[in-house]
Amino acid sequence: MNDRWLADRTHSFESSGIRKVFDLAATMKDPINLSIGQPHFDVPEEVQDACVEAIRSGKNAYSQTQGIGPLRQRLADDIRGNFPHQDREVLITSGTSGGLVLAMLAMINPGDEVIFFDPYFVMYPALVKLAGGVPVILDTYPDFRIDTRQVADAITSRTKMVLVNSPANPSGVVASETELKDLAELCQQRGIALVSDEIYSRFQYDEPFVSPAKYNDETIVIDGFSKSHAMTGWRVGFVHGPPAVIAAMTKMQQFTFVCAPQPAQWAALKAMDVDLGHHIDDYRRKRDLVVDGLRNHYELTTPGGAFYAFPRVPSGTADSFVRRAIENRLLIIPGNIFSARDTHFRISYAANDETLLRGLEVLRRLAE
């Protein structure tokens, strides 16, 4: 094969390190797997039934690009209830990742700068570069708080977008309402697009969830059903925001994903009626189990949401620490996958209690 066949953009980022850990897990016998970023419970049975019914009743063709009408209407009603004085349109996307791709394609020109925060979801730098943009990554260590003054200082004439994720992957930290308000107002004052990745919005344990859209009616919100209802493989997300942005993203979807899978959209409509309270309570308990189990051994900012913790390694690099963990059959993710720093590691506590307790025991032993 001629090397010239490959586009330059394919060399601008590496394959996800998380996928490498997943591949490793498939080769290990009885690993203690605290690496997986998806719920450990199954898709609720009534949601499964709704998908099967959609398939059997012939809802297997393309849907409208923007998504099936009943799901969009149900989401629009909820969104209108949360933001009653805002003019917002809704687009159903092929997962939240699909929504992020469309946002970049619809909004970022080559050379545009996109500000986001370190540590970050692993896809952010790659997606910005894929669209020809320039990542501007702001360090938030050691406590992972958003400093609006730091954001203001980073804004240039080329800044197009600020991307925020709360509750956050990988840290599990929840931005305070004051942080989100200040960020939202800054973006509005400077005429910069604010994109809020809210895929973990239902996994918040200590205080009610707040969207920056509350303080900036031009915020583009990206959310979905993958994490909340364990539908990671079903690929149903949604975006809401200013009509002109949603129209541009819909046009991009016509020529990329076409639409989200129609049977899964009908299942997502049913999912909106499912009470998730018991799962949220269970993950709050698991969060507390992790914090209590590690507090005397690791430097750890208590996560307020999602299902991750991001401890600092006791010594050395995170990469070498994770190698030691793997030697003890414990799968965790090194922080350098999510960060310019190699000092922390990510635990997913989306696991059964037995696995979680075994993992905590290994981590305590490694720290000692």
Averaged pLDDT of the chain: 94
Q: Are residues 125 and 212 in the same domain?
A: yes
**Stretch 215-219: mean pLDDT:** 98
**Stretch 143-169: mean pLDDT:** 98
Per-residue model confidence as pLDDT tens digits over 186-212: 999 999 999 999 999 999 999 999 999
Instruction: Give the C-alpha separation, 339 to 328, whole Å.
Output: 24
Domain boundary among 243, 271, 299: 271
Domain boundary among 271, 286, 304: 271
Of 11-15, 69-73, 229-233, the range with the lowest mean pLDDT is 11-15
**Stretch 50-58: mean pLDDT:** 97
Give the confidence band of 17 by pLDDT, cuts at 50, 70, 90: low
Q: Are residues 267 and 280 in the same domain?
A: no
Q: What percent of the chain has pLDDT over 70?
A: 96
Per-residue model confidence as pLDDT tens digits over 111-123: 999 999 999 999 9
Q: Are residues 263 and 303 in the same domain?
A: no
The pLDDT, as a whole number, for residue 279 is 94
Give the confidence band of 92 by pLDDT, cuts at 50, 70, 90: very high
Supply the range of the domain harboring residue 13: 3-43+276-367
* CATH number of domain containing 290: 3.90.1150.10
pTM: 0.94
Q: Are residues 247 and 346 in the same domain?
A: no
**Stretch 146-154: mean pLDDT:** 98
Q: Are residues 49 and 114 in the same domain?
A: yes
Res 183 pLDDT > 70: yes
Q: Are residues 25 and 113 in the same domain?
A: no
The pLDDT, as a whole number, for residue 29 is 77
Per-residue model confidence as pLDDT tens digits over 257-286: 999 999 999 999 999 999 999 999 999 999
The pLDDT, as a whole number, for residue 195 is 98
Q: Are residues 313 and 261 in the same domain?
A: no
Listed as own residue / partner, the contacts of 50-59 with beta carbons closer than 8 Å and 24 or more positions apart are 50/266, 50/267, 50/269, 50/270, 50/271, 51/234, 51/263, 51/264, 51/266, 51/267, 53/266, 54/262, 54/263, 54/266, 54/267, 55/263, 59/262, 59/263, 59/266
* CATH number of domain containing 213: 3.40.640.10
Give the confidence band of 310 by pLDDT, cuts at 50, 70, 90: very high
The pLDDT, as a whole number, for residue 332 is 96
CA 352 to chain centre: 22
Q: Are residues 120 and 132 in the same domain?
A: yes
**Stretch 144-170: mean pLDDT:** 98
Strand pairing category for 330-331 and 308-309: unpaired
Q: Are residues 155 and 50 in the same domain?
A: yes
Query: How wide is the angle at C-alpha 96 spanned by C-alphas 153 and 42, nearest 5°?
Result: 130
Q: Are residues 162 and 208 in the same domain?
A: yes
Domain boundary among 219, 241, 271: 271
Per-residue model confidence as pLDDT tens digits over 67-78: 999 999 999 999
Res 12 pLDDT > 70: yes
Phi, psi for residue 80 in degrees, rounded to 5: -65, -35
How many domains is the chain built from? 2
Res 13 pLDDT > 80: no
The pLDDT, as a whole number, for residue 6 is 85
The pLDDT, as a whole number, for residue 8 is 83
- Kindly provide the residue ranges of all beta strands, DSSP E only, lying in 29-132, ordered along the sequence: 32-33, 89-93, 113-118
Instruction: Give the C-alpha separation, 4 to 198, whole Å.
Output: 39
HEC profile for 26-53?
HHCCCCEECCCCCCCCCCCHHHHHHHHH
Q: Are residues 289 and 213 in the same domain?
A: no
Q: Are residues 72 and 205 in the same domain?
A: yes
